[in-house]
Amino acid sequence: MSLQEIAKLPLEERHKLIAPYVAAMAEDFLNDSELTEFSVLDLEDWQRMMNGCNG
């Protein structure tokens, strides 16, 4: 099933389909130092961008 097809489903059905993947992805980010480092750096970039736009 494509992402476009999933997006057309009712919210409850979408949740049932993607929940296992979200849980696995969260586990990956907790246990893989490279993903965690990337996530932190991305968050810092996002915060700098938002502060620059608002400040």
pLDDT digits (tens, 9 = 90+) for 9-38: 999 999 999 999 998 988 887 888 777 776
- Going by C-alpha positions, the residue among 53, 22, 25 that lies closest to residue 39 is 25
Mean pLDDT of 37-49: 73
Q: Is the pLDDT of residue 54 over 60?
A: no
Distance, CA of 27 to CA of 46 (rounded, Å): 22
Q: Can you give the pLDDT at residue 45?
A: 76
Tokens of 15: 């949740």
Tokens of 48: 């700098």
Q: Can you give the pLDDT at residue 55?
A: 47
Q: Can you give the pLDDT at residue 10?
A: 97
Q: Is the pLDDT of residue 42 over 60?
A: yes
Domain extent listing, the chain: 3-54
